[in-house]
Structure 1
Amino acid sequence: MSSLLYLHGFLSSPASVKATQTRDYLQQHAPGVAVICPELENSPARLKPQLLELMAGHAELSGGDLRVIGSSMGGYLATWLVEQYGGKAVLVNPAVRPFELLAGYLGEHINPYTNKHFALNQDDIGHIQAFYQPTLARPANYRVLLQSGDETLDYQQAVAHYQGAELCIEEGGDHSFVGYEQHLPSIMRFLYLQ
């Protein structure tokens, strides 16, 4: 049985629209693919142990067989995983250097999906920066979906960072990536899941 790992973004959850659309699509078109969609830790210090435990607990994801979709911060984490374990990733409006952006988000937060309260402090920025991959060993292992209207992230950062990857750049849209569900057939083909 094949597995797909889906990593949601900051202040999101497995109940996000794109995660739900991904599960629904596979249930209908490739029911043999299991979707692993963890609720990522809000605390950056707990993210790396969570991801390492996840990989250790799912042998089918390692050995170069990792197939992952990552949205925003999830795209940043997916890049780290592919660089560590091999495999292929589709990144949706990925964060490239979120440690720079999150420096403006220090303080108290509530995850709108889970209602969990947490705080971001300066140490957390270092934990996020530890995932940064300045260069990619195999850019062709990435397909990057970008919309120029992303109000949260500068899509040009991703264009520069993922040179050599399969880039799909659409004019307009927003950070949620409008029309994501229409890309699911090509996403699954890229990941060899359909």
Structure 2
Amino acid sequence: MILYLHGFRSSPSSMKARVTGQRMAELGRAAEFICPQLPASPKLAMELAFGLVAGIAPHELTIVGSSLGGYYATWMAEKLGCRAVLLNPAVVPMLDLDKHVGVTTAYHSDEPFEFKREYIEELRALAVPRVTQPERYFLIACTGDEVLDYRDMVAHYAGAKQKVVQGSDHAISEYADYLGEVLAFCSVTGEAR
């Protein structure tokens, strides 16, 4: 089972979420891919995510998280003992997101998106100072990420499987090129390691 957690102001319509879901469908595994619309509140996002995977054994679950979703995926993987794939993950979002407090719109719609000041404290409550079992993590970090510093990611996930992509961008525009490795790490059969 793959739980995909999108990034800040994003949605299940993001390119990486769609590409992953499409590949799972092509493999006949669409029922093993969950990608919810996460609420702006980190606390509510985690309640939703935990509810969706309740009862799934840790060895049968991989959480794939992009940007802020990578921060969430790390916290969940530490709590559940499952694998996680981090795609240009936020490491300390409390610092980066403070300037985004207020009302704006989501990236893939005209829906209002409100990020409240109290959400900064909710994010702080999900901090993982150091991953306990780095072998359960696969990091894809791009040196050309225009939003987050890839060096923070590499340092935070020291000891984990890491793919440092020279150049690219925060969205990982060529993500489809790495999807086979992602799914192999998720133990999805049909994908080469």
The corresponding residue for 1:117 is 112
The corresponding residue for 1:21 is 19
Q: Equivalent pairs: percent with the same residue?
A: 36
How many equivalent pairs are there? 188
Aligned AA (2:146): E
Q: 1:10 to 1:192 in 2, by over 3 A?
A: same
C-alpha displacement at 1:65, in angstroms?
2.6
Instruction: Give structure 2 stretches of 5+ with no counterpart.
Output: none
Q: 1:156 to 1:13 in 2, by over 3 A?
A: same
**Counterpart selection for 2:178 from 167, 170, 183:** 183
Return 152-161 or 64-73, whichever deviates more.
64-73
Instruction: Give structure 1 stretches of 5+ with no counterpart.
Output: none
Given that 2:46 and 2:72 are in contact with CA atoms closer than 8 Å, whether structure 1 keeps it comes out as: no
Given that 2:41 and 2:122 are in contact with CA atoms closer than 8 Å, whether structure 1 keeps it comes out as: no
| Partner Cα separation in structure 2 for residue 115 and residue 82 of structure 1 | 32
SS of the residue aligned with 1:178? Answer: coil
RMSD (CA atoms): 1.4
**Counterpart selection for 1:162 from 147, 157, 177:** 157
Aligned AA (2:176): E
| Partner Cα separation in structure 2 for residue 165 and residue 68 of structure 1 | 15
| Partner Cα separation in structure 2 for residue 37 and residue 111 of structure 1 | 16
Q: 1:26 to 1:52 in 2, by over 3 A?
A: closer
| Partner Cα separation in structure 1 for residue 66 and residue 133 of structure 2 | 20
1:55-74 deviation per Cα after TM superposition (whole angstroms, max 9, x unaligned)? 33xx22x4443212111011
SS of the residue aligned with 2:7? Answer: coil
TM superposition score normalised by structure 1: 0.91
1:36 and 2:31 aligned: no
Given that 1:106 and 1:119 are in contact with CA atoms closer than 8 Å, whether structure 2 keeps it comes out as: yes
The corresponding residue for 2:103 is 108
Given that 2:9 and 2:113 are in contact with CA atoms closer than 8 Å, whether structure 1 keeps it comes out as: no
TM superposition score normalised by structure 2: 0.92
Aligned AA (1:132): A
| Partner Cα separation in structure 1 for residue 132 and residue 48 of structure 2 | 24
| Partner Cα separation in structure 2 for residue 126 and residue 64 of structure 1 | 31
| Partner Cα separation in structure 1 for residue 116 and residue 22 of structure 2 | 36
Q: 1:93 to 1:63 in 2, by over 3 A?
A: closer
| Partner Cα separation in structure 2 for residue 119 and residue 87 of structure 1 | 31
